[in-house]
Amino acid sequence: MFRVKKRTLLLIAGIVWLTAGINVARLGVLSYLSIEQRWYWYLLSIVIFLLFGAMFFRMSQKHTKRIIGYEDERQLFLRFFDLKAYIIMAIMMGGGIGLRAAGVFPDQFVAFFYTGLGSALALAGVLFMKNYIRFERIRQQ
């Protein structure tokens, strides 16, 4: 029960990452609307995007390889992540939500950091969806 094909795990990962990325980026964009516009905030968003984008690119390759390597064709739908990834996700989400709710981050930080991070997360979702589409080609490599 609740088992899906390996290929479908890539689609689930794509939807999860894209949804999370859009939501995080939305918070950043909303914060941009409440701060004084300075060119360097946008530059910092790009730097954050590049740093996290590189990390998430490697992560998407690693998870795709792991998913393709599963022996059984059908897997529990939650196996698009491994345990380590779930723990990291919980810490990042919990920390981000908690620190933001506590008012630790000024709007300027939320604007540039969340916009860059959210865009990188969304791109990772797109990469997983691309791997879903190219599944047969990737599996044969």
Please write the tens of the pLDDT for every residue from 20-66.
999 999 999 999 999 998 999 999 999 999 999 999 999 999 999 99
Quote the pLDDT of residue 140: 85
* Rounded average pLDDT over 125-141: 93
pLDDT band at 119 (very low <50, low <70, confident <90, very high): very high
Q: Number of structural domains, the chain?
A: 1
CA distance linking residue 68 with residue 37, whole number of Å: 45
* Rounded average pLDDT over 129-133: 97
Helix or strand (DSSP H, E) at 3: strand 3-5
pLDDT band at 139 (very low <50, low <70, confident <90, very high): confident
Q: Which of 1, 141, 3 is nearest to 79 (CA)?
A: 3
Quote the pLDDT of residue 40: 94
Least confident of 24-28, 113-117, 136-140: 136-140
Angle CA 130–118–79, to nearest 5:
50
Higher-pLDDT residue of 96, 15: 15
